[in-house]
Structure 1
Amino acid sequence: MAVAAIAFFASLVAFGNITDYGTNFAFVEHVLRMDTIFPDATIGYRAIESPALHHAAYVFIIALESMVALLCWLGAWRMLLRLRAPLAQFQRAKHAAYAGLMLGFLVWQVGFMSIGGEWFGMWMSQQWNGIESAFRFFITILAVLIFVALPDEG
Structure 2
Amino acid sequence: MSQTSCNIHLRIQYLCKGALALSIGAFGLLAAIGNIIDYQSNWQFVRHVLAMDSMEPWFDDAVVQGRAVTDPFWQRLAYLAIIAGELACGLLCAAGGTGLAAAAAGTGCLRWSKSLFTLGALLAILVWYFGFAVVGGEYFAMWANKWNGQMKAYAFISFIVISLIYIRQPERAD
Q: 1:43 is paired with a residue of what secondary structure?
A: helix
Q: Which moved more, 1:76-85 or 1:13-22?
A: 76-85
- Structure 1 segments of 4+ aligned residues over 4 angstroms from their partners: none
Instruction: Give yes or no for contact 1:109–1:135 (8 Å, CA) kept in 2.
Output: yes
* Structure whose CA Rg is larger: 2
- 1:62-119: per-residue Cα shift (whole Å, max 9, x none)? 0000000000111011111122549xx4233211011101211221010000000000
Corresponding residue number in structure 1 for 2:70 = 49
Corresponding residue number in structure 2 for 1:68 = 89
Corresponding residue number in structure 2 for 1:116 = 136
1:78 equivalent in alignment to 2:99 = yes
1:93 equivalent in alignment to 2:109 = no
Distance 2:73 2:80 in 1: 11
Corresponding residue number in structure 2 for 1:106 = 126
Give the C-alpha shift of residue 145 in structure 1.
Answer: 0.4
Corresponding residue number in structure 1 for 2:159 = 140
Count of aligned pairs: 152
What is the TM-score with the length of structure 1 in the denominator? 0.92
**Residue of structure 1 aligned with 2:43, choices 16, 19, 25:** 25
**Residue of structure 2 aligned with 1:12, choices 30, 38, 41:** 30
What is the TM-score with the length of structure 2 in the denominator? 0.82
Instruction: Give yes or no for contact 1:31–1:116 (8 Å, CA) kept in 2.
Output: yes
- 1:109-150: per-residue Cα shift (whole Å, max 9, x none)? 10000000000000001x200011000010011011011011
Identity %: 37
Q: Which 5+ residue runs of structure 1 have no aligned equivalent?
A: none
- 1:20-71: per-residue Cα shift (whole Å, max 9, x none)? 0000000000010011232235201111110111111101110000000000
Residue 114 of structure 2 aligns with an amino acid whose one-letter code is: K
Distance 2:126 2:77 in 1: 18
Distance 2:126 2:171 in 1: 25
Higher relative contact order (CA 8 A, sep 6+): 2
